[in-house]
Amino acid sequence: MPDTQFANTPPRFKGKVITDELAGSITRVEELAYILKISEVMTHEVKTLRPQDTMRNVMDALREYRISGVPIIDESKNLIGLVSTEDLIKCLANQDIDKCVQEYMTTDLVTVNSFDHLTEALKLFAKTKLGRLPVLGVKGELAGILTKGDVTYGMLRALEHDYQEEEVRKYRASHLFEDIESTRTSLILRYDIQRYNFTNGGAASSNIKRALVRLGANQQLARRVGIAIYEAEMNLIIHTTNGGSIHVEIEPQQISAYIWDEGPGIKDVNLAMQPGYSTATEEIRELGFGAGMGLSNISRCVDEMELNSDIGKGTHLTLKFFLKGEDIMGEGHLNKKENGNDA
């Protein structure tokens, strides 16, 4: 049965424009975390050991390769444990340097997937205080390892990547609104999102953000839209029955996003808006998703948010971004120049 409490009067939530001066600002680093995949920044060639190896082998590996941890694999090359510098120190304190690795390795592992976005790894780093995370491939095999150093280096490389070519694309796209004569010009982007398709998770939001930048949106606006759409996109992947759709309508003075699905619906919308609340299954949580911050993160990025959900029928989410001043795209910039107000 539909949840009649919200069926006729969908709640509205007012977000705030996030500035770089605020503690919660959407920085360039945060933006990259929503774009880069873990596979793009992780260390692919990983030194591994077997459980029957000794802690002396661990000490030699840490010293030779200048690493802080060694994944332990079985005969089938499946990840079964991890030995860190801390484990080695404990071993040395016990004078057990020739004991087998399996006696000191950590088996309760926190892992990430190679196809996850970097933001998922950053959440785990912050939550667990770990210095490294084993990375699993599509089939669950050990694909690499991710350290905080890998994150920093990967972001630096991304900042340098393909700058000149992107500038050319931005120049072509930014004239789109100015070159078309109409009473009201809109560009509509449509994306179909499949349930549990984590491999392509975040692709739609990344493409939307890139399109906005090329159309002339400033970085702060593009980041706000990109992060809001990313969270909505991941909700479609995680919580729906058959996935859903994302439509984004771009106009010079407004951006509207419409996200809907035919999933199970949200029983209590107000409760769902609370940070940390999640209905994700244990399976999804084991994959590192379902932290319950999606709707909360969306609300802080948008100017207006409307959420309508019927139990057994689905959920419809509308997001609005109102463009003023420097945010105005296309002919908005042209009008400013004609009025002599171009800064």
DSSP class of residue 139 equals: T
CA atoms within 13 A on the CB side of 111: 25
Q: Which of 86, 167, 285, 286 is catalytic?
A: 285
Find, among 209, 199, 252, the residue nearest to 230 by Cα: 209
Q: Which of 31, 120, 231, 251 is catalytic?
A: 231
Task: Tell me how crowded residue 333 is: count the other CB atoms within 10 A of its CB.
Answer: 17
Q: Which of 224, 235, 251, 331 is catalytic?
A: 235
Contact 50, 100 (CB under 8 A): no
Give me 90's structure tokens.
Answer: 């404990």
Residue 285 a catalytic site member: yes
Instruction: Tell how far CA 326 is from the center of its chain.
Output: 27
- What are the φ and ψ backbone dihedral angles of 272, each rounded to 5 degrees? -65, -25
Residue 45 a catalytic site member: no
Decide the pairing of beta strands 254-261 and 244-251: antiparallel
Contact 205, 229 (CB under 8 A): yes
Residue 94 a catalytic site member: no
Contacts of 39 (CB under 8 A, 6+ apart): 114, 115, 135, 143, 144
By annotation, the residues acting in catalysis are 231, 235, 285
